[in-house]
Amino acid sequence: MCGIVGYVGSDNAKEIIIDGLKRLEYRGYDSAGVAVVQDGKILLKKHVGGIANLENLIGDDPMASGTGIGHTRWATHGAPSDVNAHPHLSADEQIAVVHNGIIENYVELRKMLTEQHGIRFRSETDSEVIAQLIGIHYEGNLEDAVYKAVAQMRGAYAISVIAADQPEKIVAVRKDAPLIAGLGKGCNFIASDIPALLKYVKEIYLIENNETVVLTPDSVKIYDDERNEVSRDVFHVTWDADAAEKEGYEHFMLKEIYEQPKGLHETISRRLNEDGTIKLDGISMTREDIEGFNKIYIVACGTAYHAGLVGKYIIEKLAKVPVEVDVASEFRYRDPYVDDKTLFIAISQSGETLDTLAALREAKRKGARVLSVVNVVGSSVARESDDVFYTWAGPEIAVASTKAYTTQLMCMYLIGLYMGYEKGTITREYYDQFIADLMDVSGKLEASLKNAGIIEGLSRMLYNKEQVFFIGRGLDSSVSYEGSLKLKEISYINSFAIAAGELKHGTIALIEPGTLVVTLATQDFLYEKMLSNIQEVKARGAHVLSIAKEGNTEIETHSNEVLYIPACRDEITPLLSVVPLQLFAYYVARERGCNIDKPKNLAKSVTVE
């Protein structure tokens, strides 16, 4: 989705902004632009396409200025084009604005600006309305004009604004879209995301909803919606700049797949007390609270939703409480039955997914206790939850989620075990053994990543399949959804996942000689049932690639190929079985020449409906 970077200081703002925008490229965008204040004027450059196009447009122009704002746009209102790219200017070209989000009443505002102020709009965007509104209100005090404009706007936005006659000032506002201020020495920064600033600052302010920030080279002041100055604790970013670099890997996705053993280890090892019990840092749930929940909803989107499917299985099994999993865009509009005995668990890597955020608010409004499992510290989902449980995955840059998923799974196990143990639905012995097994996973995963070469070889054979099916039972079925999503989103192969037992109720009609069927068969107690499903597709000529536990050589007689995961208890196979599927998707996409880290039409953080 859109990205914002702004700089005010004595270095070349344009260079810092472009560098920051490049670090946000992973979020997905279709045009980019930058505006700086130069000699009492706004100098604007923007171009459709990648940042390289913008750099070509700028050419040798130093755009010498210490104050500027930049943007990467992901089109919502108005097609990707030069004019629709941000920044947008006011009619008199005195104000430049970048905007993330959507202005819901832009049609009405546009009409008012056209009819009452004679403004001729240059673009089709909702965002230009903001520049024009600030323009009509501007009388030399930028903060005043921004406050007046914001009072007329409805919707979600993070905006950053500069004025031609204010060479050392940026004014920014946040409402329901992420915004941070970076604190430098003799310079300050504004951005939509931490990775944009990692190279420059480690100390930031997390800007809250309805707050306005005024940045100059020497100060960052935050004001509430009534213009009272508010104080804010400095947030120290622990991610290092390398975490957002490829470090020799061909793609971020591959790097992030390889970071999973570390992410899993971080996520569990920081949560164990000396006596081996789990401490849910960030969660203040008492035994009474846990016993009082009569229902749990897990709500999320995409890959995070798939983590929720595993979560349902685990939490129901361990804590003996009914769990329903829903995609956020459905949950929020279906008037779900939620009350004060409901625990609502939101899962989100970015913590900024609009549907998840809206579902969370709906659940809260109805009285649910809200717990979120989030990767980005300080994100909106985290801030609006009663309790937050962080997945310590580090920054995830590739659009296709990998390490966020496995760390989300780890959180599901920890929450399930914690609740089960507190409620007394599992024994101490079972609990201890389960935790020990989870502690072993990262080592097992590390070892199994050494087999990546086998998967690479396989993908060379199978990359040109036109459609692929993923089937499994129980936990394997949840993982098959994720395997299928990974493949389709980065390789553009038409892939489809279905619970293996459901195949014969319709989908089997699509199986033809040569159709690739990836079968997950890691659940010992379902193995024989799964074999029957494998036979069904084999009988119709399918090419069967199976995922099984080491030691199960028997499955080779039913499969064309088998990829093995280390032997482990059935309940934790998802942490291991998803990895060959991630690698398979990766190598197939590479073989097909796809843009792996930035697949077409997708964005890393979906902050619109």
Q: Shortest Cβ distance from residue 262 to ligand F6R (Å)?
A: 19
How far apart are CB 351 and ligand F6R at their closest, in Å?
A: 7
Could you say whether residue 605 binds ligand F6R (CB under 6 A)?
Answer: yes
Match 């299985």 to its residue by tokens: 313
β-partners of residue 19 are none
Q: Establish if 380 lies at the interface with ligand F6R (CB under 6 A).
A: no
Task: Find out whether 384 and 370 touch, Cβ atoms under 8 Å.
Answer: yes
Q: Which of 125, 132, 212, 348 binds ligand F6R (CB under 6 A)?
A: 348
* Residue placing its CB nearer to ligand F6R in the complex, 293 or 297: 297
Question: Given the complex with ligand F6R, which of 90 and 353 has the nearer CB atom?
Answer: 353
Longest pairwise C-alpha distance within the chain = 79
By the rule CB under 6 A, 329 interacts with ligand F6R: no
Least Å distance, CB 444 to ligand F6R, is 23
With contacts defined by CB under 6 A, how many residues of the chain interact with ligand F6R? 15
- Selected from 72, 350, 478, 515, the binder of ligand F6R by CB under 6 A is 350
Among 31, 401, 407, 491, binds ligand F6R (CB under 6 A): 401
Tell me how far, at minimum, the Cβ of 515 lies from ligand F6R, in Å. 24
> Which range, of 53-61, 113-121, 347-355, 467-475, touches ligand F6R by CB under 6 A?
347-355
* Residue 353 near ligand F6R by CB under 6 A: yes
Q: Is 303 in the site for ligand F6R (CB under 6 A)?
A: yes
Q: Does 304 bind ligand F6R (CB under 6 A)?
A: yes
With binding defined as CB under 6 A, does residue 302 bind ligand F6R? Answer: yes
Q: For residue 389, list its beta bridge partners.
A: 373
Tally of CA atoms within 13 A in the half-sphere of 430 that contains its CB:
13
| Residue with tokens 């200017």, as numbered in its chain | 89
H or E element at residue 305: helix 302-319
Query: Is the peptide bond preceding residue 87 cis, with omega within 30 degrees of 0?
Result: yes
- Here's the x/- map for ligand F6R, 261-300, by CB under 6 A: it reads as ----------------------------------------
Among 125, 349, 372, 522, binds ligand F6R (CB under 6 A): 349
What span, in angstroms and rounded, lies between the C-alpha atoms of 386 and 418? 17
Counting contacts by CB under 6 A, is residue 385 touching ligand F6R? no
User: With respect to ligand F6R, which residue has the nearer C-beta, 489 or 571?
Assistant: 489
Residue 359 vs 537, nearer CB to ligand F6R: 359
Q: In 271-365, which ranges are E strands?
A: 295-300, 323-327, 342-348
Out of 356, 391, 559, 607, the only residue in the binding site for ligand F6R (CB under 6 A) is 356
Cβ atoms 403, 394 nearer than 8 A: yes
Minimum CB separation of residue 301 from ligand F6R in Å reads 4
Considering the complex, state which of residue 422 and residue 597 has its C-beta at the smaller distance from ligand F6R. Answer: 597
Q: How many CB atoms lie within 10 A of CB 264?
A: 27
Q: Of 153, 165, 151, nearest to 128 (Cα)? A: 153
Residues 473-492 that bind ligand F6R (CB under 6 A): 485, 489
Output the CA–CA distances (angstroms, integers) from residue 570 to 100, 196, 257, 367, 406, in the order listed. 44, 41, 22, 36, 16
394 binds ligand F6R (CB under 6 A): no
The least distance separating ligand F6R from the CB of residue 247, rounded to whole angstroms, comes to 21
Answer yes or no whether residue 606 interacts with ligand F6R by CB under 6 A: yes
Residue 604 is a catalytic residue: yes
Nearer CB in complex with ligand F6R: 10/595: 595
| Shortest distance, position 273 Cβ to ligand F6R, whole Å | 29
Q: Provide the CA 105 distance to its chain's centre, in angstroms.
A: 27
Structure tokens at 537: 């597709």
Residue 395 CB, nearest approach to ligand F6R (Å): 12
Query: Where do runs of H (alpha helix) occur along 24-123?
Result: 51-58, 106-117
Contact range with ligand F6R by CB under 6 A, out of 64-72, 330-338, 350-358, 518-526? 350-358
Burial string for 527-548 (b: 16+ CB within 10 Å, else e) reads beebbebbebbbeeebbbbbbb
CA–CA dist 189, 217 (Å, integer): 9
Measure Cα distances from 344 to 226, 287, 333, 369, 566 in Å.
Answer: 33, 17, 16, 6, 33
In 3-state terms the chain splits into helix, strand, coil percentages (rounded to 5) of: 40, 25, 35
Q: Does 407 bind ligand F6R (CB under 6 A)?
A: no
The one-letter amino acid at 404? A
Among 4-12, 18-26, 343-351, 453-461, which window interacts with ligand F6R (CB under 6 A)? 343-351
CA distance 324 to 340: 16
Residue with tokens 């482990």, as numbered in its chain: 568
**Nearest Cα residue to 156 out of 300, 336, 358, 391:** 358
Rule CB under 6 A: which of 503-562 touch ligand F6R?
A: none
Q: Work out how close the CB of 327 gets to ligand F6R at its nearest, in angstroms, rounded to a whole number.
A: 10
Nearest to 604 by CA among 402, 434, 411, 442: 402
> In the complex, what is the shortest distance from the CB of residue 348 to ligand F6R, in angstroms, rounded to a whole number?
3
In DSSP notation, 143-168 reads HHHHHHHHHH--EEEEEEEEETT-TT
| Active-site pick, 2, 301, 568, 594 | 2
Instruction: Give me the residue whose beta carbon is nearest to ligand F6R.
Output: 302
Catalytic residue among 14, 45, 46, 604: 604
- CA–CA dist 55, 461 (Å, integer): 40
Give residues 14-53 in contact with ligand F6R (rule: CB under 6 A): none
Q: Assess 400 for contact with ligand F6R (CB under 6 A).
A: yes
Residues near ligand F6R, by CB under 6 A:
301-304, 348-350, 353, 356, 400-401, 485, 489, 605-606
Catalytic residues: 2, 604
